[in-house]
Structure 1
């Protein structure tokens, strides 16, 4: 069923099940403010935040990023699929796309495909897209209790570059309300420069501006970066999860020139590097290394147990992947996106249009 879930109730359920920030209530609010219709569907023990996307020719589809969330089994999945289908037909959607929150073991590709198709996905009208809207492989860094443990897990060159950035006097800071307007411009400029350099497609500027305006800031307890403080902990000794989606916009500069920026989101016990950019100037200062070392320290101070560097791909993003892997961490690999096809004719038009526009 689709119902107006309360903010706290929804987030509590998502946090209990270890959901991605993409299923947080605040992410839905951002999408709505950007102009997309958002619904939340719960059935069979599964819950998913559904975002409506417009397509050419008056078509539309629904998208469930890293969802639905819950105990995945055939009966539960079929019940959620039926509820989603009823709702999609009311809204006139041609299909519904899910990026499952299912991680794939480290198996050969042929075995992965068998694993996925032989489990929850034997549903009529369901199509494996062979791709994913979200990164297929994310690099996740566990934040240990000791800074030495974190540093020792890094590549030697990464440790050297962090120290080199410090010697060059690279400064990092968190954007605040007073500087937000100028910082947003800097963020988008560096993002655009990086995208052009790497051949990456970006959202319209309004997408990033709306995100920065809508998602609340994570409070800054200390104006200066802590050397490596103890994390905030509850009575059980475990890190306190962040119960709503929040953000921080980071910038690193050298002699007053902005060289690197990063937008980091916080939800539950995970901090996620979502978007960022770097300048091609003063590359010898190693500003991105100083920036992410600051982010990692701050994430631990905020109570996070993990830092998600985002997507890695040795073939498509060789340089970015090499940079991220230098910090250590482990790779999480997810299943392909799958489409529930509700209207085969309109879905065929969508597929034909995609081929024409390639």
Structure 2
């Protein structure tokens, strides 16, 4: 499926493109292919992608990921949401918001990410890393780890297998297999894999939008962890991104409290932390919204 360049151009002209692929036409196509309902709205030159979500008893809410914030846009969305009978809107805006914007809730997307400028030379990129990270990148090369780029999904079965292994090892929930396969099939995503002794021992899934390549998912085997295959993939990805004329590598999610070890690992590659303002609910049918929130608190 082709992309809507007119739609994407609005986002490609934004100063910060961190996470903004979640508003792209390609991401909308992926979500629709995965069975989700996506709405596209225009307010003058501003474009806003909305994901319609189900609540019990046939009720609905709207989720708006990484949208450019302005009061006029929010007012326009609220007007359309009221007509649609939506209970509330959940918005994760880019940029500053007003003090009384909405009710702050737990973020859907990571509230912070690690962003690396990949326009530097190899030596400059390495110099910005933690010494242990540099050592592990060089160790992976010395041990003979081979990195392969896959735009055809040849290693999709390896990715599915290894993300299951990683989930069991680190005790985190994952999507169903079809979700990942849809992501792999939907351009502009691609896989990067690490091979050691003729076996695939690590796989990463990436997404390119504008000047930024984003690390969506990573997985690795329980065996041969001492050859530092993920380090080899990350550095090879930075080199590739620079060669493609991209500017930024978004490592996606960091959180010192929830993912201390993962955050430390990602920060080891250098770059800067990028923080978002948070996630906000805007109730439209207040009695139903408060009933929903009360039920959520009981379940948690």
By the TM > 0.5 criterion, same fold? yes
5+ long unaligned stretches in structure 1:
1-5, 103-115, 217-245
Q: Which residue of 121, 127, 131 corresponds with 2:103?
A: 127
How far apart are the structure 2 equivalents of 1:63 and 1:342?
13
Q: Which residue of 269, 273, 292 corresponds with 2:211?
A: 269
Q: Deviations over 1:174-220 (max 9, x none)?
A: 2243xx25x2222122222222322322222221111222x22xxxx
Question: Paired residue for 1:57?
Answer: 57
Question: Paired residue for 1:243?
Answer: none
Q: Which residue of 147, 167, 181 corresponds with 1:172?
A: 147
Question: Paired residue for 1:198?
Answer: 170
What is the correspondence of 1:33-182 to structure 2 with a 5 Å cutoff?
33-43=33-43, 46-67=46-67, 69=68, 72=69, 76-77=70-71, 79-102=72-95, 119-123=97-101, 126-129=102-105, 131-177=106-152, 180=153
How far apart are the structure 1 equivalents of 2:25 and 2:9?
10
Cα offset, 1:317, TM superposition: 1.3
Question: Paired residue for 2:242?
Answer: 300
Using structure 2 for the length normalisation, give the TM-score.
0.92
Work out whether residues 59 and 346 of structure 1, in 8 Å CA contact, stay in contact via their aligned partners in 2: no
Q: Deviations over 1:224-278 (max 9, x none)?
A: xxxxxxxxxxxxxxxxxxxxxx222111121122221111111111111011112
How far apart are the structure 2 equivalents of 1:55 and 1:308?
32
Q: Which protein is richer in strand relative to its size?
A: 2
Q: Deviations over 1:99-156 (max 9, x none)?
A: 1112xxxxxxxxxxxxx6xx52435xx2111x21111110011113322111111111
1:13 is the counterpart of 2:10: yes
5+ long unaligned stretches in structure 2:
none
What is the correspondence of 1:209-248 to structure 2 with a 5 Å cutoff?
209-213=181-185, 215-216=186-187, 246-248=188-190
Q: How many residues align?
A: 295
How far apart are the structure 1 equivalents of 2:255 and 2:221?
21
Q: Which residue of 330, 335, 348 corresponds with 2:290?
A: 348
Q: Deviations over 1:285-334 (max 9, x none)?
A: 11111111111111111111111111112222122112211111100011
